Amino acid sequence: MSKLARDHRNSDVIKIQIARKELKLSDDDYRAILVAKGGQDSSKNLDYEGRQRVLDYFKATLGWKPKTASHGKRPSRPTPSPDKLKLVRRIRAQLISLDRLPDTYADGIAEQMFGVQFYEWCTPEQLHAVSAALGVQQRKKGVPTQ
């Protein structure tokens, strides 16, 4: 079994176990569903089609809805307006030239200078000031500026 197939199998088995707990199925009911839909008495022994039939049964017949994972998704950055896009791109280029500093570095500058949480929320004048501060940092480190 390839690593990808094993990962999908493990993911499906975990979903089945979560559904079992959320639906509060007794052990006998759970085993009966596994045998009826997948032909096995353990979710680990089910093949791909069996796992899908069990999950489909939980969703369609018993009304189980899987919850989306919110722990792994990284929060997205604010989208700058078109009039600020050129300045935001300049700031990101400056951050890259400074040893690939994260956007949060520029956020810290904007927070300290203007009390704004994200530098993308700054006005164009404030973005010029953030860019100037990064320019000073570039000169201190001897990074070529453009």
pLDDT surpassing 80 at residue 130: yes
pLDDT at 19 over 80: yes
Go through 76-103 and write b for each residue having 16 or more CB atoms within 10 A of its CB, e for each that does not: eeeebeeebeebbebbbebbebbeebee
**Three-class secondary structure assignment of 33-72:** HHHHHHCCCCHHHCCHHHHHHHHHHHHHCCCCCCCCCCCC
Is the pLDDT score of 7 beyond 80? yes
State the pLDDT at residue 143.
Answer: 87
Percent of the chain residues topping a pLDDT of 70: 95
Tokens of 135: 């320019």
Q: What's the structural domain count of the chain?
A: 2
pLDDT in tens, 62-93: 888 888 766 666 668 889 999 999 999 999 99
In-domain check, residue 73: no
- Among 14, 45, 60, identify where a domain stops: 60
In the predicted structure, residue 131 carries a pLDDT above the cut 90: yes
Residues 48 and 89 in one domain: no
Mean per-residue pLDDT for 42-49?
A: 90
Q: What value does the mean pLDDT take over residues 9-31?
A: 91
Residue range(s) defining the domain that contains residue 105: 85-141
> What is residue 116's predicted lDDT score, i.e. its pLDDT?
93
User: What's the mean pLDDT in 42-61?
Assistant: 90
The reply to whether 55 and 91 lie within a common domain is no
Is 48 inside a domain boundary? yes
Percent over 90 (pLDDT), the chain: 61
- Structure confidence by residue, pLDDT tens digits, 101-122: 999 999 999 999 999 999 999 9
